[in-house]
Structure 1
Amino acid sequence: MANQKLDKLDKQILRLIADDARIPFLEVARACNVSGAAIHQRIQKLTNLGILKGSQFVIDPEKIGYETCAYIGLNLRSPEKFDEVVEKLRNIPEVVECHYTTGDFDMFIKIYAINNHHLLNIIHDKLQPLGLARSETIISFNSAIDRQLPIMDIPVSEEDED
Protein backbone atom coordinates (compact mmCIF):
# COMPACT_ATOMS: atom_id res chain seq x y z
CA MET A 1 0.00 0.00 0.00
CA ALA A 2 1.31 3.43 -0.91
CA ASN A 3 2.31 6.00 1.66
CA GLN A 4 -0.75 8.01 2.72
CA LYS A 5 -0.67 11.82 2.80
CA LEU A 6 -1.35 12.97 6.34
CA ASP A 7 -1.71 16.56 7.43
CA LYS A 8 -0.86 18.09 10.80
CA LEU A 9 -4.33 17.41 12.23
CA ASP A 10 -4.20 13.73 11.21
CA LYS A 11 -0.80 13.37 12.90
CA GLN A 12 -1.96 15.15 16.04
CA ILE A 13 -5.00 12.87 16.26
CA LEU A 14 -2.83 9.77 15.74
CA ARG A 15 -0.42 10.86 18.48
CA LEU A 16 -3.25 11.39 20.96
CA ILE A 17 -5.06 8.14 20.30
CA ALA A 18 -1.82 6.12 20.12
CA ASP A 19 -1.01 7.34 23.63
CA ASP A 20 -4.50 6.47 24.91
CA ALA A 21 -6.93 4.56 22.69
CA ARG A 22 -9.72 5.25 25.18
CA ILE A 23 -9.40 9.04 25.05
CA PRO A 24 -12.84 10.58 24.39
CA PHE A 25 -13.23 12.18 20.96
CA LEU A 26 -14.30 15.44 22.60
CA GLU A 27 -11.02 15.55 24.50
CA VAL A 28 -9.15 14.95 21.22
CA ALA A 29 -11.20 17.74 19.63
CA ARG A 30 -10.31 20.17 22.44
CA ALA A 31 -6.61 19.27 22.22
CA CYS A 32 -6.69 19.77 18.44
CA ASN A 33 -8.84 22.91 18.64
CA VAL A 34 -11.49 21.54 16.26
CA SER A 35 -15.08 20.27 16.58
CA GLY A 36 -16.02 16.81 17.76
CA ALA A 37 -17.60 16.19 14.35
CA ALA A 38 -14.28 16.97 12.67
CA ILE A 39 -12.56 14.36 14.86
CA HIS A 40 -15.21 11.75 14.02
CA GLN A 41 -14.73 12.47 10.30
CA ARG A 42 -10.94 12.27 10.55
CA ILE A 43 -11.05 9.02 12.55
CA GLN A 44 -13.39 7.56 9.92
CA LYS A 45 -11.05 8.73 7.13
CA LEU A 46 -8.01 7.20 8.88
CA THR A 47 -9.93 3.96 9.37
CA ASN A 48 -11.10 3.86 5.73
CA LEU A 49 -7.51 4.42 4.57
CA GLY A 50 -6.42 1.44 6.68
CA ILE A 51 -4.14 3.60 8.84
CA LEU A 52 -6.22 2.80 11.92
CA LYS A 53 -6.97 -0.89 12.22
CA GLY A 54 -9.43 -0.75 15.09
CA SER A 55 -8.97 -0.63 18.81
CA GLN A 56 -8.58 -3.42 21.29
CA PHE A 57 -7.59 -4.22 24.81
CA VAL A 58 -4.18 -5.87 25.04
CA ILE A 59 -4.13 -8.98 27.20
CA ASP A 60 -0.88 -9.84 28.93
CA PRO A 61 -0.41 -13.54 28.00
CA GLU A 62 1.70 -14.25 31.09
CA LYS A 63 -1.04 -13.00 33.42
CA ILE A 64 -3.46 -15.59 31.99
CA GLY A 65 -1.02 -18.49 32.21
CA TYR A 66 0.96 -18.37 28.95
CA GLU A 67 4.49 -18.19 30.33
CA THR A 68 6.42 -19.16 27.19
CA CYS A 69 6.76 -16.84 24.20
CA ALA A 70 8.57 -18.32 21.21
CA TYR A 71 9.51 -17.24 17.72
CA ILE A 72 9.73 -20.05 15.21
CA GLY A 73 11.30 -19.90 11.77
CA LEU A 74 9.60 -22.30 9.39
CA ASN A 75 10.88 -23.82 6.16
CA LEU A 76 8.23 -25.57 4.12
CA ARG A 77 8.85 -28.72 2.10
CA SER A 78 6.62 -27.19 -0.58
CA PRO A 79 6.91 -23.38 -0.48
CA GLU A 80 4.16 -23.07 -3.09
CA LYS A 81 1.75 -24.10 -0.28
CA PHE A 82 2.33 -20.84 1.67
CA ASP A 83 -1.33 -19.80 1.53
CA GLU A 84 -2.55 -23.23 2.58
CA VAL A 85 -0.11 -23.32 5.51
CA VAL A 86 -1.09 -19.80 6.62
CA GLU A 87 -4.76 -20.84 6.69
CA LYS A 88 -3.85 -23.83 8.86
CA LEU A 89 -1.76 -21.58 11.14
CA ARG A 90 -4.82 -19.34 11.60
CA ASN A 91 -6.53 -22.33 13.22
CA ILE A 92 -3.81 -22.70 15.86
CA PRO A 93 -4.87 -20.26 18.60
CA GLU A 94 -1.39 -20.07 20.12
CA VAL A 95 -0.02 -18.56 16.87
CA VAL A 96 -0.40 -14.78 17.28
CA GLU A 97 1.76 -13.56 14.36
CA CYS A 98 2.93 -14.93 11.03
CA HIS A 99 5.31 -13.17 8.66
CA TYR A 100 6.64 -14.05 5.21
CA THR A 101 10.36 -13.41 5.43
CA THR A 102 13.61 -13.24 3.53
CA GLY A 103 16.72 -15.02 4.71
CA ASP A 104 16.86 -18.47 6.22
CA PHE A 105 13.11 -19.03 6.67
CA ASP A 106 10.04 -19.09 4.45
CA MET A 107 7.96 -17.68 7.29
CA PHE A 108 8.40 -16.65 10.89
CA ILE A 109 5.72 -17.07 13.57
CA LYS A 110 5.23 -15.93 17.14
CA ILE A 111 3.42 -18.22 19.54
CA TYR A 112 2.50 -18.29 23.21
CA ALA A 113 2.46 -21.52 25.20
CA ILE A 114 1.59 -22.30 28.79
CA ASN A 115 5.05 -23.78 29.39
CA ASN A 116 7.87 -25.50 27.51
CA HIS A 117 6.02 -28.85 27.48
CA HIS A 118 3.01 -27.16 25.86
CA LEU A 119 5.40 -25.52 23.35
CA LEU A 120 6.81 -28.94 22.47
CA ASN A 121 3.27 -30.28 21.92
CA ILE A 122 2.40 -27.35 19.64
CA ILE A 123 5.53 -27.90 17.56
CA HIS A 124 5.12 -31.67 17.39
CA ASP A 125 1.35 -32.00 17.07
CA LYS A 126 0.32 -28.82 15.24
CA LEU A 127 3.29 -27.44 13.30
CA GLN A 128 5.14 -30.53 12.05
CA PRO A 129 2.04 -31.90 10.24
CA LEU A 130 1.95 -28.70 8.13
CA GLY A 131 4.72 -30.06 5.90
CA LEU A 132 7.82 -28.49 7.40
CA ALA A 133 11.24 -29.25 6.00
CA ARG A 134 12.70 -27.78 9.19
CA SER A 135 12.03 -25.26 11.91
CA GLU A 136 14.06 -23.29 14.41
CA THR A 137 12.62 -22.15 17.74
CA ILE A 138 13.81 -19.17 19.74
CA ILE A 139 12.33 -18.67 23.20
CA SER A 140 11.92 -15.08 24.38
CA PHE A 141 12.76 -14.45 28.03
CA ASN A 142 11.29 -10.96 28.10
CA SER A 143 10.17 -8.19 25.76
CA ALA A 144 12.55 -5.27 26.32
CA ILE A 145 10.72 -2.93 23.91
CA ASP A 146 7.06 -3.21 22.94
CA ARG A 147 5.55 -0.05 21.50
CA GLN A 148 3.66 1.60 18.68
CA LEU A 149 5.60 3.19 15.86
CA PRO A 150 6.08 6.85 16.86
CA ILE A 151 3.81 9.20 14.92
CA MET A 152 6.49 11.90 14.76
CA ASP A 153 8.40 9.80 12.22
CA ILE A 154 5.64 9.92 9.60
CA PRO A 155 6.92 11.76 6.51
CA VAL A 156 5.56 15.28 6.11
CA SER A 157 3.20 15.87 3.18
CA GLU A 158 3.82 18.76 0.81
CA GLU A 159 0.97 20.79 2.35
CA ASP A 160 2.73 20.71 5.76
CA GLU A 161 5.93 22.18 4.35
CA ASP A 162 4.29 25.57 3.66
Structure 2
Amino acid sequence: MAQIKPLDEKDRQLLRLLQENSRMSNAELARQVNLSAPGLLKRLRKLEESGLIDRYVTLVNREALGFDLLCFTHVSLAHHQPECVDHFCERVKDLPEVLECHHLTGEYDYLLKVVVTNHQHLEKLLTEKITQIPGVDRIRTSIVLNEIKASTSLPLD
Protein backbone atom coordinates (compact mmCIF):
# COMPACT_ATOMS: atom_id res chain seq x y z
CA MET A 1 0.00 0.00 0.00
CA ALA A 2 1.32 3.41 -0.95
CA GLN A 3 1.76 6.37 1.39
CA ILE A 4 -1.57 8.13 2.04
CA LYS A 5 -1.37 11.82 1.17
CA PRO A 6 -3.75 14.40 2.59
CA LEU A 7 -7.01 14.58 0.67
CA ASP A 8 -7.82 17.69 -1.29
CA GLU A 9 -11.38 18.81 -1.97
CA LYS A 10 -11.59 17.01 -5.35
CA ASP A 11 -10.56 13.72 -3.70
CA ARG A 12 -13.21 14.26 -1.02
CA GLN A 13 -15.83 15.00 -3.69
CA LEU A 14 -14.88 11.84 -5.59
CA LEU A 15 -15.06 9.70 -2.48
CA ARG A 16 -18.44 11.19 -1.47
CA LEU A 17 -19.87 10.51 -4.93
CA LEU A 18 -18.49 6.97 -5.09
CA GLN A 19 -19.81 6.15 -1.61
CA GLU A 20 -23.27 7.13 -2.81
CA ASN A 21 -23.08 5.39 -6.19
CA SER A 22 -20.00 3.40 -7.17
CA ARG A 23 -21.61 2.62 -10.54
CA MET A 24 -21.51 6.25 -11.61
CA SER A 25 -19.74 6.44 -14.95
CA ASN A 26 -16.28 7.93 -15.15
CA ALA A 27 -17.63 10.57 -17.52
CA GLU A 28 -20.27 11.63 -14.98
CA LEU A 29 -17.74 11.56 -12.11
CA ALA A 30 -15.33 13.72 -14.11
CA ARG A 31 -18.12 16.16 -14.98
CA GLN A 32 -19.31 16.49 -11.38
CA VAL A 33 -15.84 17.19 -9.98
CA ASN A 34 -14.73 19.25 -12.98
CA LEU A 35 -11.88 17.02 -14.13
CA SER A 36 -10.77 15.67 -17.49
CA ALA A 37 -11.17 11.93 -18.07
CA PRO A 38 -7.40 11.30 -17.75
CA GLY A 39 -7.25 13.49 -14.64
CA LEU A 40 -10.09 11.53 -13.06
CA LEU A 41 -8.50 8.15 -13.85
CA LYS A 42 -5.18 9.32 -12.38
CA ARG A 43 -6.88 10.41 -9.14
CA LEU A 44 -8.91 7.20 -8.87
CA ARG A 45 -5.80 5.09 -9.44
CA LYS A 46 -3.95 7.00 -6.68
CA LEU A 47 -6.90 6.59 -4.28
CA GLU A 48 -6.99 2.86 -5.01
CA GLU A 49 -3.21 2.38 -4.74
CA SER A 50 -3.09 4.30 -1.44
CA GLY A 51 -5.78 2.03 0.01
CA LEU A 52 -8.31 4.82 0.49
CA ILE A 53 -10.54 3.03 -2.00
CA ASP A 54 -10.51 -0.52 -0.70
CA ARG A 55 -12.93 -2.09 -3.20
CA TYR A 56 -16.15 -1.53 -5.11
CA VAL A 57 -19.20 -3.48 -3.91
CA THR A 58 -22.91 -3.86 -4.47
CA LEU A 59 -25.14 -3.48 -1.41
CA VAL A 60 -27.90 -6.08 -1.53
CA ASN A 61 -31.23 -5.58 0.26
CA ARG A 62 -31.11 -8.29 2.93
CA GLU A 63 -34.89 -8.33 3.44
CA ALA A 64 -35.51 -8.80 -0.28
CA LEU A 65 -33.46 -12.02 0.02
CA GLY A 66 -35.46 -13.18 3.04
CA PHE A 67 -33.01 -12.20 5.79
CA ASP A 68 -35.71 -10.61 7.93
CA LEU A 69 -33.84 -10.66 11.24
CA LEU A 70 -30.86 -8.46 11.94
CA CYS A 71 -29.22 -9.29 15.27
CA PHE A 72 -26.27 -8.30 17.40
CA THR A 73 -24.64 -11.08 19.39
CA HIS A 74 -22.17 -10.44 22.18
CA VAL A 75 -19.74 -13.31 22.79
CA SER A 76 -17.43 -13.97 25.74
CA LEU A 77 -14.66 -16.52 25.58
CA ALA A 78 -13.76 -18.65 28.60
CA HIS A 79 -10.05 -18.51 27.77
CA HIS A 80 -7.98 -15.88 26.05
CA GLN A 81 -4.98 -17.90 24.97
CA PRO A 82 -3.90 -16.95 21.44
CA GLU A 83 -4.86 -20.36 19.97
CA CYS A 84 -8.38 -20.13 21.46
CA VAL A 85 -8.86 -16.59 20.17
CA ASP A 86 -7.47 -17.48 16.73
CA HIS A 87 -9.73 -20.54 16.51
CA PHE A 88 -12.81 -18.49 17.40
CA CYS A 89 -11.95 -15.83 14.81
CA GLU A 90 -11.36 -18.41 12.08
CA ARG A 91 -14.64 -20.21 12.78
CA VAL A 92 -16.62 -16.95 12.81
CA LYS A 93 -15.10 -15.91 9.47
CA ASP A 94 -16.59 -19.09 7.98
CA LEU A 95 -20.17 -18.28 9.08
CA PRO A 96 -21.97 -16.55 6.19
CA GLU A 97 -24.66 -15.21 8.54
CA VAL A 98 -22.03 -13.15 10.39
CA LEU A 99 -21.62 -9.89 8.49
CA GLU A 100 -19.23 -8.27 10.96
CA CYS A 101 -17.16 -9.38 13.93
CA HIS A 102 -15.54 -6.85 16.25
CA HIS A 103 -13.10 -7.49 19.11
CA LEU A 104 -14.21 -5.39 22.09
CA THR A 105 -13.14 -4.07 25.43
CA GLY A 106 -15.54 -4.41 28.34
CA GLU A 107 -17.85 -7.17 29.51
CA TYR A 108 -17.93 -9.12 26.24
CA ASP A 109 -15.04 -10.04 23.97
CA TYR A 110 -16.75 -9.88 20.57
CA LEU A 111 -19.74 -8.28 18.90
CA LEU A 112 -21.20 -10.06 15.88
CA LYS A 113 -23.59 -8.46 13.41
CA VAL A 114 -25.76 -11.32 12.17
CA VAL A 115 -28.50 -11.76 9.57
CA VAL A 116 -30.89 -14.71 9.57
CA THR A 117 -34.13 -15.57 7.84
CA ASN A 118 -36.23 -16.23 10.96
CA HIS A 119 -36.16 -17.18 14.64
CA GLN A 120 -35.49 -20.84 13.85
CA HIS A 121 -32.50 -19.89 11.73
CA LEU A 122 -31.23 -17.73 14.60
CA GLU A 123 -31.66 -20.57 17.10
CA LYS A 124 -29.80 -22.98 14.82
CA LEU A 125 -26.97 -20.49 14.25
CA LEU A 126 -26.57 -19.86 17.98
CA THR A 127 -26.96 -23.41 19.27
CA GLU A 128 -25.39 -25.45 16.48
CA LYS A 129 -22.65 -23.12 15.31
CA ILE A 130 -21.62 -20.28 17.62
CA THR A 131 -21.98 -22.00 21.00
CA GLN A 132 -20.23 -25.07 19.57
CA ILE A 133 -17.03 -23.14 18.91
CA PRO A 134 -14.53 -24.30 21.54
CA GLY A 135 -13.90 -21.61 24.14
CA VAL A 136 -17.22 -19.80 23.82
CA ASP A 137 -18.39 -19.15 27.37
CA ARG A 138 -21.53 -17.05 27.01
CA ILE A 139 -23.54 -15.19 24.42
CA ARG A 140 -26.20 -12.52 24.50
CA THR A 141 -28.23 -11.74 21.40
CA SER A 142 -30.38 -8.71 20.68
CA ILE A 143 -32.82 -8.68 17.78
CA VAL A 144 -33.13 -5.39 15.91
CA LEU A 145 -36.73 -4.16 15.96
CA ASN A 146 -36.22 -1.15 13.71
CA GLU A 147 -33.12 -0.11 11.80
CA ILE A 148 -33.00 3.66 12.30
CA LYS A 149 -29.84 4.34 10.31
CA ALA A 150 -27.62 2.10 8.25
CA SER A 151 -24.85 3.63 6.21
CA THR A 152 -21.62 2.55 4.61
CA SER A 153 -20.51 6.12 3.89
CA LEU A 154 -17.71 7.61 5.94
CA PRO A 155 -17.91 11.31 6.90
CA LEU A 156 -15.49 13.21 4.65
CA ASP A 157 -16.02 16.78 5.86
TM beyond 0.5 = yes
For residues 81-134 of structure 1, give each alpha carbon's deviation from its aligned partner in whole angstroms, at most 9, with x where no partner exists: 222211111111111100011111111101111111110110000001112111
1:105 matches 2:104: no
Matched residue, 2:61: 60
* Offset, 1:142: 2.1
Q: Pick the structure with more helix per residue.
A: 1
The 3 A distance-change label for structure 1 pair 95 and 17 is same
- The two structures, once aligned, show a CA RMSD in angstroms of 1.6
The 3 A distance-change label for structure 1 pair 3 and 70 is farther
SS for the counterpart of 1:151 is coil
1:97-136, aligned counterparts within 5 Å? Answer: 97-130=100-133, 131-136=135-140
SS for the counterpart of 2:24 is coil
SS for the counterpart of 1:21 is coil
Measure the CA separation in 2 of the matches of 1:108 and 1:4. Answer: 32
TM-score after normalising by structure 2: 0.89
Measure the CA separation in 1 of the matches of 2:63 and 2:73. Answer: 19
1:139 matches 2:143: yes
TM-score after normalising by structure 1: 0.86
* Offset, 1:45: 1.4
Measure the CA separation in 2 of the matches of 1:133 and 1:3. Answer: 41
Count of matched residue pairs: 151
Measure the CA separation in 2 of the matches of 1:59 and 1:3. Answer: 30
1:1-162, aligned counterparts within 5 Å? Answer: 5-80=6-81, 81-130=84-133, 131-147=135-151, 148-152=153-157
What stretches of structure 1 of length at least 5 have no aligned partner? 153-162
Measure the CA separation in 1 of the matches of 2:16 and 2:67. Answer: 31
What stretches of structure 2 of length at least 5 have no aligned partner? none
